[in-house]
Structure 1
């Protein structure tokens, strides 16, 4: 869907000094809806994560200890989870708050953070960095695992990123032919995410990698998922992964 460009926090900007206010006026944030009605993709018009850090997912406040921006976003009442991509921030809300109330507060937090520009979005250790590169092909990877990672990186992740999320490779069981994947970002709280994996990702992997028999969804999300997720997540992903 076409992004709509919006300016936010003008009232707050007028309260600031002229030079600082000008900086605010020159920063615009684009928003894009996602297949999940509880998640919105915010594009600040600048790099969010460096190329060495493909994505970062924070399903709770406690998981955001290494991200100053995520912690600020969690301070906004109604924010359920936060996801960062290379140039976007996906915020998922709880079902008891309206976007009309939440959106301006999120704009203000993102603008404050990038205008200040004194902190990194995410502070990662070397071990954290290695874990994030889930589809990096390692020397000890089998040919099957390497093919799975390549397909996820080139075919699946770009499609999911358009909807404000990602799919993370969590392992492959040779004995059962099971690929374990975790959905993060906008689609992680969709009730249709398991259908998306089965009918979209699983079919594609089985087509190109005969050793793959099934896909299993794993999750590090909170135990109380949002019940009313947009079923369009399934239809949208199906079309992108299997356009024919």
Structure 2
């Protein structure tokens, strides 16, 4: 059973707050309940309406949003509600009863070239995953999942799944011109039929260092001030551009004594002939400028 962890996320509307899970709650549709009578298909929504300040409950993708009446402030109640939602989701109770009238949501998928000639990015018009996933081989996949099924194409080497895209690396035995349309159609039909991406057995949050030791990446709250600044710079300036190219970059560590920063390249960036050098130089230049005197070099590792 999935272990849900809830994060409280404010919205542009002060009356509405989102309670985001680290897992999908519903797929392909969303729900809006304006009172307890409308919430007959969701026991959790009914329970939330017992709170006198709850005006509307929304359930979509990986979050539950609540609109409140102006009789309390969110600061006074949001922690208690977050705990209630988290406990319910982890109880195994059904969130929403199946609605037979739900229509199949059309899915579109288009292909984008990446700087890596062996990698192609397939972008969907729907959210595919809450947490990015990396599949280095078929052994990382689960049965009856889209990730496993993609490996029926013998030329596929690695998969990287972002929020709304799948980045695929192929073996250098065929050109993308020959197979792009077939792969794109396969992904679209699988998503329309409700096939899930599946979980990965590959630990994206770990690398094997030179001595063969598997090391978990450090948590942000445990980092020193310089490391936190590095992560913030990567998140704000580097990751968005890298994601556009079907890849990801992860902070692995910072050695204060040598000024060395280590990052992990994932997705289309991993193993790319140009990415390692280009990204390393670009990141190194930016970090040196924004954190003067603390950065000597950047080492880029393939994930």
TM-score, scaled to structure 1: 0.69
Q: Verify the 8 A CA contact 1:206 1:213 in the aligned structure 2.
A: yes
Alignment of 1:83-122 (within 5 A): 83-119=160-196, 121-122=197-198
Judged with a 3 Å threshold, the aligned counterparts in structure 2 of structure 1 residues 212 and 122 are, in CA distance, closer, same or farther, namely farther
- Whole-angstrom distance in 2 between the partners of 1:83 and 1:169: 17
How far off its partner does 1:185 sit?
1.2
The aligned counterpart of 1:38 is 118
Is the aligned partner of 1:213 residue 2:296? Answer: yes
Which stretch has the larger CA shift, 190-199 or 61-70?
61-70
- Whole-angstrom distance in 2 between the partners of 1:150 and 1:66: 37
- Whole-angstrom distance in 2 between the partners of 1:184 and 1:74: 18
Q: Greater Rg, structure 1 or structure 2?
A: 2
Is the aligned partner of 1:170 residue 2:252? Answer: yes
> RCO (CA 8 Å, sep 6+): is it higher in 1 or 2?
1
- Secondary structure of 2:228 counterpart: helix
Is the aligned partner of 1:200 residue 2:282? Answer: yes
- Whole-angstrom distance in 1 between the partners of 2:278 and 2:144: 29
- Whole-angstrom distance in 2 between the partners of 1:156 and 1:34: 16
RMSD: 3.0
Is the aligned partner of 1:179 residue 2:272? Answer: no
How far off its partner does 1:189 sit?
2.1
Gaps of 5+ in 2: 1-102, 207-215
The aligned counterpart of 2:156 is 79
Judged with a 3 Å threshold, the aligned counterparts in structure 2 of structure 1 residues 67 and 142 are, in CA distance, closer, same or farther, namely farther
String of CA shifts for 1:22-75, please: whole Å, max 9, x gaps: 969x4321111111221111112111112xx1x222222223349922211122
The aligned counterpart of 1:146 is 228
How far off its partner does 1:213 sit?
1.2
How far off its partner does 1:183 sit?
0.9
Q: Verify the 8 A CA contact 1:135 1:153 in the aligned structure 2.
A: no
TM-score, scaled to structure 2: 0.56
Q: Verify the 8 A CA contact 1:79 1:93 in the aligned structure 2.
A: yes
Structure with the bigger percentage of strand: 2
String of CA shifts for 1:146-172, please: whole Å, max 9, x gaps: 100100111110010111111111111
Aligned partner of 2:133 among 40, 52, 56: 56
Structure with the bigger percentage of helix: 1
How far off its partner does 1:144 sit?
0.3
